[in-house]
């Protein structure tokens, strides 16, 4: 017979057994819940893994294309060619692994082979070696912001080996994120995202999940990665950046391009002891590339970014749109194109200043000394309008031209306005008769790193505009001749006189243009082309002012330039640079200071260009009269 326990003892034994059961079951239940949530995060990351669109390279080392894929950071970890350096710049370890980067003091950085300020093709070639066989991946991070209980962010972090934009630097971290109306990953699996945010430079852009601008393939968002900068955009376009948040310059995401489905790698959060061997780099607070000044410094990792822990707050501060550049032709220099090229050129100057500050400052000082010396040496007074055919210094030519322009501004503006149809007609003849391709195609073919080829491309591609400018010069010369002979200048009369001498003007202008194009295209004869270009500058003026038409106009121009080639070349170059740059510079200022539509900004810049052309032509006419009177070639 089993002895019976007193009721109080039995109750106590049951309570102890229950407590022991809860103690044993609690950790196991929590672990099961964590494992389930981890499985949900992995499934979520897989379901929405983005598709990346990268601009295609036409050939190796083509900087207009994109050689970099988003790859695992493994390509730089345990790599004997990569250095880990300390705050003092000394090498701490060659080929550091993930665990070597964890919990280092601030100031450490990775250093890759090559010089990020002068990358050349080194980084691309190294990347091809390091990344061979590696998949294109996105590191997935599921995060909740403290205090925001009804939102969950799914982030995809992309690692690029090099940033080849205006601010070149080793390594580049980019990201996008999707936000769900959920508190857990399991809840998120049963719903859809409500929004998507794409990081762009120091800012970014946001879109609703059902927004038309957000391209998707099933549940996979499509990300257009800008060539070189890797900023993430919602569509294919040339994007304009005018601030730190937008980036300063122009981001290219247009075709030709290639698409890649990214493989997600789920990141641990928080980083546990068991994760250090594989993901210890998440705790790295140093720089992922060569240590340099300012924006050329290697970037910090994802854990150093605001959105890593505050994704909702970060997204609330993003823009609703990006500025896309309209691909329309203008009747003058394209302000936006000048801005894009100018920012790129300015970044190269900044790189030169950063890498060789003393040499750069010496060259800059030499330029300032030469320019100021020339300005001081020229005579600016008196302003001589009558007689017209007399010797003048460069300063006198500028001041006299201004007075002549102001005195008959209506006539000269009318002559300048006619440049619009003339330029369009000349550009059409250039492509059809001379079979010269569009300027953009010439520059693309030349290659952005080949300065000589770009100069040739610009000169050849601009010949349609230059021929139109020659006609405007002829009309201005005719108007000035009328004034000198006692007839008021009129735009219609000036162009009528040009039309009467059309063939005697057309064949020497067109013929000399064809010769110069051929010499430029041959490359080795570029110096000859420039020499002839200056000697033939005054063909329209010789024909309209001194009746030296046909080949005689070319001979008269040669006689006028003889003995003053250098001075003539410098002054003509400065004049035409003023004429070309005034409108675009004003347009860029408007672009930076206002939110006017880009089409309107381009129109304003082109309009200013049209108004300045007659002034430049008046200066050229006075320069011819100065040279001709000195040589007795009238």
Residues 118-144 pLDDT 10s:
898 999 999 999 999 999 999 999 999
Per-residue pLDDT of 483-530, as tens digits, reads 888 899 999 999 999 999 989 988 898 888 888 877 877 778 888 989
User: What pLDDT sits at residue 17?
Assistant: 52
Query: Does a structural domain hold residue 6?
Result: no
Q: How far apart are CA 204 and CA 247, in angstroms?
A: 10
112, 215: one domain: yes
The pLDDT score that the predictor gives to residue 113 is 96
Tally of residues, the chain: 634
Least confident of 328-337, 376-385, 429-438, 502-511: 429-438
Token pair belonging to 129: 């070696």
254 located within any domain? yes
Tens of pLDDT, residues 373-403: 666 777 888 888 888 888 888 889 999 999 9
Q: What is the pLDDT of residues 136-176, one digit of tens each?
A: 999 999 999 999 999 999 999 999 999 998 889 999 999 99
Q: What is the pairing mode between strands 51-55 and 220-225?
A: parallel
Tell whether 73 and 190 lie within a shared domain. yes
pTM here? 0.72
Q: What is the pLDDT confidence band of residue 586, given thresholds at 50, 70 and 90?
A: confident
pLDDT at 446 over 50: no
Residues 444 and 547 in one domain: yes
Residues 449-454, mean pLDDT to the nearest whole number: 46
Domain that holds residue 491: 385-631
Interval 251-278: pLDDT, tens: 899 999 999 999 999 999 888 888 999 9
**pLDDT(337) > 50:** yes
Please tell me whether residues 120 and 260 are part of one structural domain: yes
If asked whether residues 416 and 290 sit together in one domain, one would say no
| Domain end among 292, 308, 324 | 324
State yes or no: pLDDT of 451 exceeds 80. Answer: no
Instruction: Give the phi and the psi of residue 346 in degrees, each rounded to 5.
Output: -65, -35
Mean pLDDT of the chain: 83
Collapsing DSSP to helix, strand or coil, 218 comes out as coil
Instruction: Band the pLDDT of 448: cuts 50, 70, 90.
Output: very low
Give the separation between CA 175 and CA 177, rounded to whole angstroms. Answer: 7
Per-residue pLDDT tens over the stretch 559-583: 999 999 998 998 998 888 888 778 7
Q: Which of 189-193, 253-257, 459-463, 612-616 has the highest mean pLDDT?
A: 189-193
The token duo for 41 is 């995060």
Spacing of C-alpha 258 from chain mean position: 20
- Residue 430 reports pLDDT greater than 50: no
Nearest to 211 by CA among 200, 198, 201: 198
Question: Is there a single domain that holds both residue 228 and residue 313?
Answer: yes
- Residues 293 and 427 occupy one common structural domain: no
Same domain as 164, residue 81: yes
Let me know whether 471 and 553 are in one domain: yes
CA distances from 548 to 78, 458, 476, 617, 634 (A): 76, 30, 16, 18, 9
Q: Is residue 1 part of a domain?
A: no
309 and 395 assigned to the same domain: no
On whether residue 332 sits in a domain, the answer given is no
The total number of structural domains that make up the chain: 2
On whether residue 225 sits in a domain, the answer given is yes
> In this predicted structure, what is the pLDDT of residue 442?
43
- Residue with the bigger pLDDT between 538 and 363: it is 538
pLDDT (tens digit per residue) in 589-633:
777 677 777 767 777 777 888 888 899 999 999 999 998 777 655
Is residue 368 in some structural domain? no
Residue where one domain finishes, among candidates 324, 354, 374 = 324
Q: Is the pLDDT of residue 456 over 60?
A: no
**pLDDT at residue 23 tops 60:** no
Q: Would you say residue 354 lies in a domain?
A: no
What is the chain's Cα-based Rg?
34
- Please check whether residue 364 lies inside any domain of the structure: no
| C-beta separation of 327 from 195 below 8 A | no
Based on the fold, state whether residues 318 and 415 are members of the same structural domain: no
Share of the chain above pLDDT 70, in %: 79
Given 276, 294, 324, which residue is the final one in a domain?
324
Q: Which of 566, 562, 557, 563 is nearest to 620 (CA)?
A: 557
Query: Within this chain, do residues 415 and 274 fall inside the same structural domain, yes or no?
Result: no
Res. 342 pLDDT band, cuts 50 70 90? low
CA 551 to CA 561: how far, in whole Å?
A: 16
Which pLDDT value is given to residue 421?
67
The answer on pLDDT for 464 being more than 70 is no
Q: Tell me the pLDDT tens digit for each residue of 472-485.
A: 899 999 999 998 88
Q: Residue 10 above 60 pLDDT?
A: no
């Amino acid at each position: 017979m089993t002895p019976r326990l007193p009721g109080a003892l039995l109750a106590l034994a049951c309570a102890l057994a229950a407590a022991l059961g809860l103690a044993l079951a609690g950790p196991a239940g929590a672990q099961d819940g964590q494992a389930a949530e981890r499985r949900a995060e992995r499934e979520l990351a897989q379901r929405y893994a983005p598709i990346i669109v990268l601009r295609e390279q036409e050939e190796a080392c083509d900087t207009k294309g994109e050689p970099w894929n988003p790859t695992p950071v493994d390509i730089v970890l345990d790599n004997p060619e990569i250095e880990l350096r300390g705050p003092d710049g000394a090498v701490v370890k060659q080929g550091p692994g993930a665990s070597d980067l964890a919990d280092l003091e601030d100031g450490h950085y990775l250093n890759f082979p090559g010089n990020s300020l002068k990358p050349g093709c080194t980084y691309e070639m190294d990347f091809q070696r390091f990344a061979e066989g590696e998949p294109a991946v996105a590191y997935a991070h599921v995060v909740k912001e403290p205090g925001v209980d009804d939102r969950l962010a799914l982030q995809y972090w992309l690692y690029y080996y090099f940033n080849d934009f205006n601010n070149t630097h080793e390594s580049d971290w980019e990201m996008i994120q999707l936000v769900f109306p959920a508190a857990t990953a399991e809840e998120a699996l049963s719903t859809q995202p409500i929004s998507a945010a794409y990081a762009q430079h120091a800012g970014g852009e946001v879109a609703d999940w059902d927004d038309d601008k957000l391209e998707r393939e099933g549940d996979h968002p499509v990300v257009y990665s800008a060539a070189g900068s890797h900023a993430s955009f919602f569509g294919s376009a040339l994007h304009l950046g005018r601030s730190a948040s937008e980036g300063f310059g122009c981001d290219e995401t247009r075709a030709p391009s290639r698409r890649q489905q990214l493989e997600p790698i789920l990141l641990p959060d928080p980083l546990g002891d068991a994760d250090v061997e594989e993901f210890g780099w998440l705790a790295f607070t140093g720089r992922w590339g060569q240590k340099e000044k300012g924006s050329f410094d290697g970037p910090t990792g994802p854990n150093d970014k605001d959105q890593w822990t505050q994704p909702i707050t970060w997204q609330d501060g993003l823009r609703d749109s990006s500025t896309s550049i309209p691909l329309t032709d203008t009747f003058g220099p394209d302000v936006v194109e000048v801005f894009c090229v100018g920012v790129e050129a300015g970044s190269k100057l900044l790189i030169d200043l950063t890498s060789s500050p003393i040499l750069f400052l010496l060259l800059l000082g030499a330029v300032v000394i030469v320019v100021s010396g020339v300005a001081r040496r020229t005579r600016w007074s008196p302003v001589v309008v009558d007689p017209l055919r007399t010797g003048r210094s460069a300063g006198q030519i500028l001041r006299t031209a201004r007075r002549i322009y102001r005195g008959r501004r209506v006539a000269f503006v009318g002559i300048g306005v006619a440049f619009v149809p003339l330029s369009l007609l000349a550009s059409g003849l250039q492509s059809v008769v001379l079979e010269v391709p569009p300027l953009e195609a010439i520059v693309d073919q030349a290659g952005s790193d080949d300065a000589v080829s770009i100069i040739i491309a610009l000169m050849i591609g601009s010949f349609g505009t230059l021929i139109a400018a020659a006609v405007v010069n002829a009309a201005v010369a005719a108007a000035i001749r009328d004034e000198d002979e006692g007839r008021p200048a009129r735009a219609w009369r000036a162009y009528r006189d040009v039309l009467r001498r059309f063939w005697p003007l057309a064949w020497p202008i067109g013929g000399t243009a064809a010769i110069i194009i051929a010499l430029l295209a041959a490359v080795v004869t570029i110096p000859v082309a420039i020499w002839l270009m200056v000697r033939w500058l005054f063909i329209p003026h010789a024909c309209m002012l001194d009746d030296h038409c046909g080949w005689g106009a070319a001979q008269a121009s040669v006689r006028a330039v003889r003995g003053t080639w250098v001075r003539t070349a410098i002054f003509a170059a400065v004049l035409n640079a003023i004429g070309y740059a005034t409108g675009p510079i004003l347009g860029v200022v408007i672009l930076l200071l206002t939110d006017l539509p880009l089409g309107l900004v381009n129109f304003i810049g082109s309009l200013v260009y049209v108004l300045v052309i007659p002034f430049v032509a008046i200066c050229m006419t006075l320069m011819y009269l100065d040279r001709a009177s000195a040589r007795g070639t009238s």
